Amino acid sequence: MKKLCTFLLFLFPVIFLSCHKKEAATNSTSTGNVTLTFAHCINGSPVQLDTMIYTNAAGNLYEVDDFKYFISDVQFHKSDGSVTNINSCTWCYYVDNTIPSTLTWDICDKLPLGIYDSISFRFGIISSKNLSNMFVNPPESAMAWPPMLGGGYHYMQLDGKWKDSVNNIDNFGTHLGIGRVIYGSDTIFVDNSFHVNLPGSGFTLSAGATPVIQIIMNIDKWYSNPYVFDFNYYGGYIMMNQDAMHKISANGWDVFTVGYIH
Amino acid sequence: MQCIRFQLTDGMSLRLDTSINYMNISRFLLIIAVGAMMLPVSCKKEVATQSSNTVKTTPYIISIPKFFPTILNIPADNPMTVEGVTLGRYLYYDGRICGKKDTLMSCSTCHQQRYSFMNGVGYAYGTTGVKTSHIVLPHVNLVFNSNGYLWNGSVTPDNPFYHTPGTYGGNIEDIVWIAMTDVSEFASDTTKSKEAIQAISIYPPMFKAAFGSDVVTFKNIAKAIAQFVRTLISSNSKFDRYLDGEENLSPSELNGYVDFETEVADCYHCHGTILLTTNDFYNNAKDSVFTDPSDRYSYTHNTSDIGAYRASTLRNIAYMAPYMHDGRFATLDAVINFYSSGLVRSPYVSPQMYHISTGGTQMTPSQKADLKAFLLALSDSAFITNPAFSKPPDLP
């Protein structure tokens, strides 16, 4: 009885000590979290959907109705050269204007505290990871890209309308994904995704604070530089037109900017 | 010194009793340690007790076909059970459920298995001869849809109406309630229905087995039928077997598949995914004037939804004529011709109708034939003959 009591006497504090140690491990003061928010603008102002008030670089009057896209392989670059890859909960993030919750991404990965130079990501999904049927649930499953065009998933579906050269209102789908080029009997698939090094995305991650960084998609930029994209020339659908998708992809270099960092 | 005694009550929970004094610390620690060690055991016991006080049902495990969504639309208050599904199947086919002495009408009256649980004629006319607002939708793969039911998607947990007393949260259970009470369907009421079922000797024991009580409630009628409907899964068409590598598509079917998936026919933006529907809603350029009070706009009040309806599944489409929300197209040929050259402009055409500028996809005759061949390859004959989905043979 005496030995049992002695054992229990020592057991009791050990239980509490071990719980305390575990608690200390999960509340590390050397890491923190970051939140990304996604905004969408045309000509520097938040886009008004379903409203034909915009003119692109080609002079097309147009509106944007819906947009959905993936960014992937997000990286946070510290000034000491170290890189944190975001992949603990998801390496591929989906944004959809019809699902407001997707406009805020509370990244679950823990980032080391300190000064960060920049954030980078891939717009779309690199072909080696863009695999058919990896998303079976909506909404991502509806982004499937046709297997005969390369498979995997759309990088982006940007849908809207424009007034054509005879003043009819036509529909466009700026859809970006794997490109297919047929040379005689040969078929080549082209990766149209691209790396984005977000300008002005430096920030400091301090203990106890969760920075909120706004990423802006400047929609008008998809159609302007270096290629002026004319809906009247390319028409309403481009998934089977690698030349058109290449131009959209190439124009993507300045689509993304940073809004606020709080 | 005042210590703490943990006393096990009749309910197997722990009660804090601070009224008793103990002088010996070791006895105190012993009690704490013993109590702590008993905690997980007593929780387990508590769960076992709850099980023994309620009916023991058998979980019904839905086998999810390859590449199908893994998220199932099953409300938390109506888990799938073998007993519930069995009861639901009987009720689905029992014409006495409408509670009218001179009329027999069941779910299966308008949702017939041979038509992939549609009715094969379009509109239904209910027990009073009033026409439904839209044609009958099929009961197929509904468990994979979390984006609202009916042609306008208004039956959804997002609709506040379905959180009012007497409703069931915005799921298939509410569709049963709508069918029972709507003037264009059973045109009856829940009391008549439950009384009619209560009076049939086979049912009270089945309700007892499924829900723990032999008192029939309409809520449990709706739950049982919803459970059965959730089992109606179609995934064994020729196209499915092709995707699995078990069967080849013919050259025409293969060409049709390519056209379906690409901007040649461009079906898949609305009828894509393995479900052959995105379960979303579109104005597909059928009309320029919109007078339907039950379109998608009637629910969302978003002007971009004027004239929009759900893109229904194309699985088993060969069995489900006529087509569109109003059954205007009697054949698949008519549908294909419409999408090829019959699109109608309006300010509300969904942007996904990318071929609006040319009036349609402008398919050649051979492309149309290929597309039709592919659509026919979406037929699942096993689904429309599966005895597990058929009328119970012992149902009078």
Q: Note down pLDDT in tens along chain B; length 396 residues.
A: 232 233 333 333 333 333 333 344 445 455 444 444 444 443 333 333 333 347 899 999 999 999 999 999 999 999 999 999 999 999 999 999 999 988 999 999 999 999 999 999 999 999 999 999 999 999 999 999 999 999 999 999 999 999 999 999 999 999 999 999 999 999 999 999 999 999 999 999 999 999 999 999 999 999 999 999 999 999 999 999 999 999 999 999 999 999 999 999 999 999 999 999 999 999 999 999 999 999 999 999 999 999 999 999 999 999 999 999 999 999 999 999 999 999 999 999 999 999 999 999 999 999 999 999 999 999 999 999 999 999 999 997
- Cα distance between residue A123 and residue A212, in whole Å: 20
**Which run of H or of E encompasses A118?**
strand A114-123
Candidates A3, A141, A234, partner chain B, best to mutate (most B CBs within 10 A): A141
Q: How far apart are CA B319 and CA B139, in angstroms?
A: 12
Rounded Cα distance between A252 and A61, Å, is 20
Q: Which residue has the tokens 């089945």?
A: B206
Token representation of residue B293: 């009070």
Q: DSSP label at A221?
A: G
Give the type of residue at B357: S
Mention every residue, 6+ apart, whose C-beta is less than 8 A from residue B176: B107, B221, B222, B225, B226
pLDDT class of A35 with cuts at 50, 70, 90: very high
Q: Where are the beta strands (DSSP E) in chain B?
A: 5-8, 14-17, 281-282, 309-310
With residue B218 as reference, give the H or E element that holds it.
helix B218-230
CA distance B99 to B96: 6
Query: Closest to A239 (Cβ–Cβ): which among B262, B279, B351?
Result: B262
Task: Kindly report the three-state secondary structure assignment for every residue of A101-138.
Answer: HHHEEECCCCEECEEEEEEEEEECCCHHHCCCCCCCCC
**pLDDT for the residue numbered A28:** 60
DSSP state of A81: S
Identity of the residue in B261, B350, B356 whose CB atom sits nearest the CB atom of A146: B261
Residue of chain A minimizing CA distance to B357: A170
Least CB–CB distance from A142: residue in B262, B273, B345: B273
- Counting one residue from chain A and one from chain B, the pairs whose CB atoms sit within 8 A come to 97
**ipTM of the assembly?**
0.87
Give the per-residue pLDDT at A15: 42
Q: Which residue of A has its CA nearest to B349?
A: A171
